Amino acid sequence: MQSILKNSRRIVIKVGSSLVTNQGKGLDHAALDCWIKQIAQLKQMGKEVILVSSGAIAEGMQRLNWKQRPHALHQLQAAAAVGQMGLVQAYESYFRKQKIQAAQILLTHEDLSNRKRYLNARSTLITLLSMNVVPVINENDTVATDEIHFGDNDTLAALVTNLIEADVLIILTDQAGLFTTDPRKDAHAKLISEAKAGEAAIELMAGGAGSAIGRGGMLTKVMAAKRAARSGAHTLIVSGRETNVLIRLLNGEAIGTQLLAETMPLAARKQWLADHLQVCGELALDVGAAKALTIGGKSLLPIGVINVSGDFERGEMVGCFDSNNKEIARGLINYSAAETRKILRCSSNEIETILGYVNELELIHRDNLVLL
């Protein structure tokens, strides 16, 4: 682990709700103080640090004296609004104590799915880092809806890692790392100290949500590592309750699980296509079309599509699935769902005859498509 952190310049650190709020009992001020002291040491060593923090809803629940996480969206948003006050106040206090300037950034999926807002968010974060400011990022739970929320801050942290092209994503959690089985249920579970990000085997090992307080679980962390790896970032999943954990990782101590990125980083636009746009529909491809995309590096033509699912418009993101129902690519489509249904299985030179017009000869152009 020493080479990963020693040679890294830009680090994203994500802390979960159960850690930040001490399992929902209220903000754990001692823990916050400890992590920020370590962040100060990282910065003294020339590292750029971005903190992605959960905890607003959990803190709001504690302040409102709610014993169980509500299901109603408006109640979750209200809890987030209340909790965000205490969360930001605490971070501001402990960063100021270390003479570090911090900034709060609240994001929704919509902010990163719109190309212009995506680039604006990136510019803001890069500017803050150049000014030696530590951005503290959280999902904007007060306005997020089912359609635009990330679902968990592990995913948000991975997308931020892609966004700013960070070198390492560190996920601090209430578990020691990734185990072969759930250690809370199996005494023989073994810690996975190292694996390749994106391996199917480790996804099978990960379970569901980890606690009643947070939304994430080990699976979301493993999937976050897979996303982070798309931009060449390694991921460390470690217990946030380990003493001086960040500095020990920097010194090369083997703690938790490291999931290594072994693929070349995708270009910035391809990252955006792969992770920062919500999929609005699905296309089922025949064998020839799947091969043309994955092996031939070709655009997707209407003749290769055998089925269309969803209700999407021109320019929206759709997933492309092979004959085994595996998503192999996704891209920006040139025709609506209704138009696509009319021209599927047809050659490109028939489009104008069928529709009365032609936008593009390709259903999805190669430049607007990314393989998964």
Mean pLDDT, the chain, whole residue set? 89
Bridge partners of 235? 169, 259
Domain count, the chain: 2
pLDDT on residue 148: 40
Residue 133 and residue 106 share a domain: yes
d(CA 2, CA 250): 6
pLDDT tens readout for residues 76-103: 889 889 999 999 999 999 999 999 999 9
pTM of the model: 0.80
Final residue before a domain boundary, out of 217, 237, 270: 270
Q: Are strands 279-285 and 327-332 parallel, antiparallel or unpaired?
A: unpaired
d(CA 204, CA 71): 27
Residue 154 and residue 223 share a domain: yes
Residue 333 and residue 205 share a domain: no
Q: What is the pLDDT along the chain (372 residues), one digit of tens a residue?
A: 556 888 899 999 999 888 998 887 889 999 999 999 999 999 999 999 999 998 888 889 989 999 888 888 888 889 889 999 999 999 999 999 999 999 999 988 778 877 778 888 999 999 999 999 999 998 886 776 654 455 578 989 999 999 999 999 999 998 899 998 878 788 888 999 999 998 888 888 886 544 444 445 788 899 999 999 988 899 999 999 999 999 999 998 999 999 999 877 777 778 778 877 789 999 999 999 999 999 999 999 999 999 999 999 998 999 999 999 999 999 999 999 999 999 999 999 999 999 999 988 999 999 889 998
Q: What are phi and psi of 321, to 5 degrees?
A: -120, 140
Residue 352 and residue 240 share a domain: no
CATH number of the domain encompassing residue 330: 2.30.130.10
Domain that holds residue 360: 278-371
pLDDT tens readout for residues 155-206: 899 999 999 999 999 999 988 999 988 787 888 889 999 999 988 888 888 8
Residue 282 and residue 261 share a domain: no
- Calculated CA dihedral for residues 12, 197, 207, 54, nearest 10 degrees: 10
pLDDT on residue 361: 93
Residue 257 and residue 297 share a domain: no
3-class DSSP assignment, residue 304: helix
Burial 250-277 (b: 16+ CB within 10 A, else e): beeeebbbbbbbeeeebeeebbbbbbbb
CATH number of the domain encompassing residue 15: 3.40.1160.10
Residue 239 and residue 304 share a domain: no
d(CA 171, CA 259): 11
From residue 118, alpha-carbon distances to 103, 132, 152, 160, 330 in Å are: 18, 22, 19, 10, 18
d(CA 368, CA 364): 7
pLDDT on residue 146: 57
Give the DSSP letter string of 123-172.
HHHHHHHHTT-EEEEEE-TTT--TTT--SSHHHHHHHHHHHHT-SEEEEE
d(CA 138, CA 155): 11
Residue 192 and residue 97 share a domain: yes
Final residue before a domain boundary, out of 238, 270, 302: 270
Residue 261 and residue 176 share a domain: yes
Residue 179 CA, distance from chain mean position: 21
d(CA 113, CA 115): 6
DSSP state of 210: -
Residue 143 and residue 68 share a domain: yes
pLDDT on residue 215: 46
Final residue before a domain boundary, out of 213, 241, 270: 270
% residues pLDDT > 70 (the chain): 94
Residue 364 and residue 244 share a domain: no
Residue 206 and residue 100 share a domain: yes
Question: Which residues, in sequence order, are CB contacts of 103 under 8 Å at separation 6+?
Answer: 128, 133, 134, 135, 136
- Calculated CA dihedral for residues 224, 226, 227, 231, nearest 10 degrees: 130
d(CA 366, CA 227): 21
